[in-house]
Amino acid sequence: MKKFLISGMIVASLLTIPFAQAETTICDAKIALADARFNLMMMVFSMDKAEQDTLKIDIDKASIALERSVNTMLKDERKFDDTLLTSFQETWAQFKNTRETKIVPAIRVGNNDKATEIATGIQAERMNTMNGIIQALNGDNCDLE
């Protein structure tokens, strides 16, 4: 009986590992998205070129981490809601394209007002959409501190 109980506990703990990993992946995506947005907003308000360069590197790192997390979720054998993930990817692609083709170039030429307008307009809407998708996938299981 003791052997059966121990075996059952081991199996139960192993079954929870994939769920914990999935939650971590979603939370990793949420954190990376927040980091990308935070560093972009810091870049928008910065007038120092060296600081802008550093922030751009941080934005790129967060973007890579986000894309890696989403790709991991797409490959997950338990299958997350592919429709939501596809919607997230489409919104992210638009967000990233606008950032790279409109916001960053505006910052680089010193037009931070234009960059702010875009970042707090359509980009804010896209952030809300992406955060809503993460919320739908994981509820309130990710607490950003």
Residue-level pLDDT at 82: 81
Q: Tokens in use for 109?
A: 């030429």
Residue-level pLDDT at 80: 72
Cβ contacts of residue 45 below 8 Å, gap of 6+? 112, 116
Q: 48 — phi, psi (to 5°)?
A: -90, 120
pLDDT, average across residues 14-24: 44
Please, what is the end-to-end C-alpha distance for the chain in angstroms? Answer: 44
Amino acid occupying residue 145: E
Residue 129 and residue 68: Cα distance in Å, rounded?
19
Give the 3-state secondary structure percentages of the chain, helix then strand then coil, rounded to 5. Answer: 85, 0, 15
Distances (CA, A) of 141 to 22, 108, 137: 11, 38, 10
For the entire predicted model, the pTM comes to 0.79
Residue-level pLDDT at 108: 96
Judged on CB neighbours under 10 Å (0-12, 13-18, 19+), 83 is exposed
What are the pLDDT digits (tens) for 46-103? 999 999 999 999 999 999 999 999 888 888 766 677 888 889 999 999 999 999 999 9
In this structure, whether the domain defined by 16-138 belongs to CATH 1.20.120 is answered with yes
What are the pLDDT digits (tens) for 107-143? 999 999 999 999 999 999 999 999 999 988 877 677 6
Q: What is the largest CA-CA distance in the chain?
A: 73
